[in-house]
Amino acid sequence: MADPGTAAWPPAPIRTGRLVLRESEARDRPAFIELYASPEVGAYVGGPQPPAELDRLPEVPGRRPGLFVVELGGAMIGTVMLERRNLGPPGWIRPAAGVVDLGYLFLPSAWGSGYAAEACAAALDWFAGAFPGEPVVLCTQTANDRSMRLAAKLGFVEVERFEKWDAEQWFGMWSPASAPG
Ligand SMILES: CC(C)(COP(=O)(O)OP(=O)(O)OC[C@H]1O[C@@H](n2cnc3c(N)ncnc32)[C@H](O)[C@@H]1OP(=O)(O)O)[C@@H](O)C(=O)NCCC(=O)NCCS
């Protein structure tokens, strides 16, 4: 199976009840910097990026297959990623063609309103249409309560827990059949 990018990227902007999911644009750069510099956002994903690294962000950050900018009222509030990445439990046998991983990063000011759930559900719905029958995996720290609740809400089912990066990791899998109706 192709990467989310090669066959169907970028899709036309996806509209949900409150949000738009679209490819990154130059005007999103300040929001990317805010997102990557935030200690709250980075708490369970490797920490905030240092200023020198943020200075090196390209003119259009995040323009790559599988990365959706999530927009609310014309402004970026976060990103949702569907990318083939090499994450997972040490002993887990990955399908030969690889597997697509869901990631999400939202500005703290946008937490607690259901935006991440709305955006991720729309991205998964797009994925299921573009790549019928393909599962999606997700890896998150069990201490990341908000992320754990979101994964469950989206219909991810636990496969395994494992220790990595000095923390317990939760590895879950989603398929259209496990998604809430
Ligand atoms: C993980 C993350 C995306 C979750 O964001 P979130 O806003 O909590 O998630 P949701 O979109 O599911 O919103 C759920 C909350 O919105 C509330 N809510 C308010 N209005 C709502 C509505 N209309 N619909 C749904 N939920 C609504 C829910 O009650 C819930 O509140 P609670 O957390 O107090 O119980 C966010 O915390 C984040 O970006 N964290 C940093 C990055 C990170 O750790 N990513 C994980 C990498 S694996």
Ligand 1 pocket check: which of 41, 70, 106 to mutate, most ligand atoms within 8 Å of Cβ?
A: 106
What's the pLDDT at 94?
Answer: 77
What's the pLDDT at 1?
Answer: 39
Residue by residue, what is the 3-state secondary structure of the chain?
A: CCCHHHHHCCCCCEECCCEEEECCCHHHHHHHHHHHHCHHHHCCCCCCCCHHHHHCCCCCCCCCCCEEEEEECCEEEEEEEEEECCCCCCCCCCCCCCCEEEEEEECHHHCCCCHHHHHHHHHHHHHHHHCCCCCEEEEEECCCHHHHHHHHHHCCEEEEEEEECCEEEEEEEECHHHCCC
Q: Which CATH superfamily is domain 4-133 in?
A: Gcn5-related N-acetyltransferase (GNAT) (3.40.630.30)
What mean pLDDT value characterizes the chain? 93
Ligand 1 pocket check: which of 72, 111, 165, 174 to mutate, most ligand atoms within 8 Å of Cβ?
A: 111
In this predicted model, what pLDDT tens digit does every residue of 161-179 receive, in sequence order?
999 989 999 999 999 877 7
Q: Is 79 in the pocket of ligand 1 (CB under 6 A)?
A: no
What's the pLDDT at 90?
Answer: 83
Closest CA to 117 of 33, 3, 38, 19: 19
| CB atoms inside a 10 Å sphere around CB 99 | 18
Considering only residues 126 and 2, tell me which one the structure prediction assigns the higher pLDDT.
Answer: 126
Ligand 1, atom 25, residue with closest C-alpha: 114
**Is-contact 80 123, C-beta < 8 A?**
yes
In this predicted model, what pLDDT tens digit does every residue of 22-72 receive, in sequence order?
999 999 999 999 999 999 999 999 999 999 999 999 999 999 999 999 999
What's the pLDDT at 180?
Answer: 78
What's the pLDDT at 87?
Answer: 74
106-122: average pLDDT: 98
Q: Could you give the CA distance from residue 40 to residue 75 in angstroms, rounded to a whole number? A: 20
Q: Is 144 in the pocket of ligand 1 (CB under 6 A)?
A: yes
Checking if the pLDDT of 159 tops 70, the result is: yes
**What's this model's pTM, rounded to 2 decimal places?**
0.95
What's the pLDDT at 98?
Answer: 81
